C-alpha cells in the first residue's frame, strides 16, 4: 500500500522537472529558445515584447551568464547629454526588452500606417493560441484571381479578412539557429516562434502546473496514510 502511495507521489514530482512531457504542461525549452532566436533575428525589428525582461529568459533555460551576455548586446537609452545627444549603456538582466519604435506614431510612420502589435500576449489574445500563430506564419499564399488586395497588403487566409499588412516574415534558411542540428525551415521556424510566444504569454504556467502536481501528490500520500491508519485503528473491531 505505502509503495503504491509513494509511487503516486513520485509521478507528479517527476513530471514537474524540465524533462516533463508536453501533455502535462511543461515548457519545451529547446523550442522556446530557438523561438527566441527567431524573434531577435526576424521579429524584434518591428514587434515589441513590452511585458518581458531579459531576466525572464531564465524560464526557458538561460543561465545567469547567458542572460547577462544576451542583454549586453542591446543598448538602452538612459537620457541625453548636455548637447542633447542620447546617452546609452549596455542593457542588464533587469531591463525590459527594448521596443523597436519610440512611439506608436513612429511605428506607423515607418510601417506605412500599420501598427505592429506587441507580441507578449499574442498567444492569449488570438483564438487558437500558439496554433494560430504557427498557422499564420506558414499560411501566406498567392491571392485568388478574383481578390483585389489593398495597397501594401498580403494574402493570408488564416488572418481574419485574408489581407495582412505584414509580409511573410520567414523564409527557409534565413534564420541561423545556434543548434546546427535543427534544420531552419519555415515550418520549423514557425513552430519554434509559436512555442516561444506561448511561453511569453504565460511564463509562470509551468510553475503553476508543477505546484499543482506536487499538491496532487501530497493529497494522494495523505489519503494513503489516512487509509492505512484507519485500518490499524479499527483492525480489532468487528
What average pLDDT does range 223-229 have in this prediction?
87
Q: What is the pLDDT of residues 191-219, one digit of tens each?
A: 999 999 999 999 887 677 777 778 888 88
Q: How far is Cα 189 from Cα 187, in angstroms, rounded to an integer? A: 5
What average pLDDT does range 93-108 have in this prediction?
94
CA distance between the termini of the chain: 22
Domains of the chain: 2-52+97-233 (1.10.760.10), 62-96 (no CATH)
The pLDDT, as a whole number, for residue 212 is: 79
In angstroms, how far is CA 84 from the centroid of its own chain?
A: 38
Q: What is the Rg, in whole angstroms, of the alpha carbon atoms belonging to the chain? A: 24
The pLDDT, as a whole number, for residue 24 is: 52
Q: How far is Cα 213 from Cα 40, in angstroms, rounded to an integer? A: 34
Whether 131 and 194 have beta carbons less than 8 Å apart is answered as yes
DSSP 3-state of 124: helix
- DSSP single-letter state for residue 54: G
Torsion angle defined by CA atoms of residues 67, 69, 72 and 73, in that order, rounded to the nearest 10 degrees: -110
Given a cut of 50, is residue 87 above it in pLDDT? Answer: yes
Q: What is the pLDDT of residues 8-52, one digit of tens each?
A: 444 343 433 333 334 455 779 999 999 999 999 999 999 999 999
Q: How far is Cα 199 from Cα 21, in angstroms, rounded to an integer? A: 15
From 218, 231, 214, 209, select the one nearest 5 (Cα to Cα).
Answer: 218
On average, the pLDDT of the chain sits at 86
Q: Which residues pair with 89 in a beta bridge?
A: 76
From 74, 34, 32, 38, select the one nearest 53 (Cα to Cα).
Answer: 74
Give the number of other CB atoms < 10 A from CB of residue 152: 12
Whether 190 and 197 have beta carbons less than 8 Å apart is answered as no
Whether 195 and 130 have beta carbons less than 8 Å apart is answered as yes
Q: What is the pLDDT of residues 105-154, one digit of tens each?
A: 999 999 988 999 999 999 999 999 999 999 999 999 999 999 999 998 99
Amino acid at each position: 500500500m505505502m509503495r503504491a502511495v509513494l509511487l503516486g507521489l513520485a509521478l507528479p514530482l517527476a513530471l514537474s522537472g524540465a524533462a516533463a512531457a508536453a501533455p502535462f504542461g511543461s515548457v519545451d525549452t529547446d523550442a522556446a529558445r530557438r523561438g527566441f532566436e527567431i524573434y531577435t533575428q526576424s521579429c524584434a525589428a518591428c514587434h515589441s515584447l513590452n511585458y518581458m525582461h531579459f531576466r525572464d529568459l531564465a524560464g526557458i533555460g538561460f543561465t545567469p551568464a547567458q542572460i547577462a551576455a544576451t542583454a549586453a548586446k542591446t543598448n538602452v537609452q538612459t537620457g541625453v547629454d548636455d548637447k542633447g545627444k542620447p546617452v546609452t549603456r549596455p542593457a542588464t538582466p533587469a531591463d525590459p526588452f527594448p521596443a523597436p519604435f519610440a512611439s506608436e506614431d513612429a511605428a506607423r510612420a515607418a510601417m506605412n500606417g500599420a501598427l505592429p502589435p506587441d507580441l507578449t500576449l499574442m498567444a492569449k489574445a488570438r483564438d487558437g493560441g500558439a496554433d494560430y500563430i504557427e498557422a499564420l506564419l506558414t499560411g501566406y499564399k498567392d491571392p485568388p484571381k478574383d481578390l483585389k488586395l489593398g495597397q501594401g497588403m498580403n494574402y493570408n487566409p488564416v488572418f481574419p479578412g485574408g489581407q495582412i499588412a505584414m509580409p511573410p516574415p520567414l523564409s527557409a534558411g534565413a534564420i541561423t539557429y545556434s543548434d546546427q542540428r535543427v534544420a531552419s525551415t519555415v515550418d520549423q521556424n514557425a513552430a519554434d516562434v509559436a512555442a516561444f510566444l506561448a511561453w511569453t504569454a504565460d511564463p509562470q504556467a509551468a510553475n503553476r502546473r508543477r505546484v499543482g502536481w506536487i499538491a496532487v501528490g501530497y493529497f494522494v500520500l495523505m489519503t494513503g496514510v489516512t487509509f492505512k491508519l484507519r485500518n490499524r485503528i479499527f483492525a480489532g473491531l468487528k
